Amino acid sequence: MVISMIAAVSENNIIGQDNKLVWNLPTDTQYYKDTVRNKTIIMGRKTAESPDMFFSKKRNILITRKENYQKENFEVTSGLEEALKLTDDNEEVIITGGGQIYKMGMEVADRLYITRVHTEIEGDTSFPMIDPKIWKVTSERKLEANEKNEYSFSFLIYERI
Ligand SMILES: NC(=O)c1ccc[n+]([C@@H]2O[C@H](COP(=O)([O-])OP(=O)(O)OC[C@H]3O[C@@H](n4cnc5c(N)ncnc54)[C@H](OP(=O)(O)O)[C@@H]3O)[C@@H](O)[C@H]2O)c1
């Protein structure tokens, strides 16, 4: 199994505020959808309840400590380890946030799809530090801001060294 994480992250590592994203970047949203659409995805309960939530066509797994919590189109589990146990050995599983789940995922992930948004911004939720001793960039593509996308950003793929 390959365990990946996907996130859009500002230069100061912010990913969200008030359970929402902090930018409008339709090109990144499209990249996100194309990347996760046919994959099993795992997320925290708060991200699952965010208005920016996007469903995979394959499988959507949610992590919560709440007992008897249910949400349409989600399989509900009590932790990241439990969520990963539900998945197949031969698939790529993508952790889609948010801050609490990325923190746990950083310990087990093999690959990171990071959109680095080239701005410093305020927010209440962060992505963990990406240690260059542990992660190497294997792909990088920069896009400039335009009438649709309010900031410039880079699509980066990291693999664990
Ligand atoms: N920029 C991006 O790419 C991106 C992507 C995703 C999300 N986000 C942003 O991230 C923010 C949400 O992140 P967040 O950190 O607040 O919440 P989160 O990680 O989405 O979800 C947190 C919830 O997960 C459950 N949880 C966490 N640790 C657990 C554990 N060890 N065992 C069982 N359940 C556990 C708890 O649910 P219960 O409270 O139900 O027990 C907890 O409240 C939003 O602003 C969202 O927009 C940004």
Ligand 1 in reach of 8 Cβ (< 6 A): yes
| Predicted confidence (pLDDT) per residue in 61-118, tens digit | 999 999 999 999 999 999 999 999 999 999 999 999 999 999 999 999 999 999 999 9
Mutate to test the pocket of ligand 1, among 25, 60, 101 (most ligand atoms within 8 A of CB): 101
Instruction: Say yes or no: CB of residue 64 within 6 Å of ligand 1.
Output: yes
What's the pLDDT at 56?
A: 98
What the chain holds in terms of domains, given with CATH numbers, is: 2-160 (3.40.430.10)
Structure tokens at 148: 């649709």
Q: Which residue from 56, 62, 64, 81 has its CB within 8 A of the most atoms of ligand 1, so it is best to mutate?
A: 64
Which residue has the CA at smallest separation from atom 12 of ligand 1?
Answer: 98
Amino acid of residue 17: Q
Tell me the best of 77, 100, 155 to mutate to test the pocket of ligand 1, counting ligand atoms within 8 Å of each CB and taking the most.
100
Q: Quick one: CA torsion of 146, 157, 132, 104, rounded to 10 degrees? A: 100
Is residue 89 classed as helix, strand or coil in its secondary structure?
A: coil
Please identify, by atom number, the ligand 1 atom nearest to the C-alpha of residue 97: 6
47 lines ligand 1 (CB under 6 A): yes
Residue length of the chain: 161
Residue 154: CB partners within 8 Å, gap ≥ 6?
A: 115, 116, 118, 140, 141, 142, 143
Tens digit of each residue's pLDDT (9 = 90 or more) over 113-159: 999 999 999 999 999 999 999 999 999 999 999 999 999 999 999 99
Confidence (pTM): 0.98
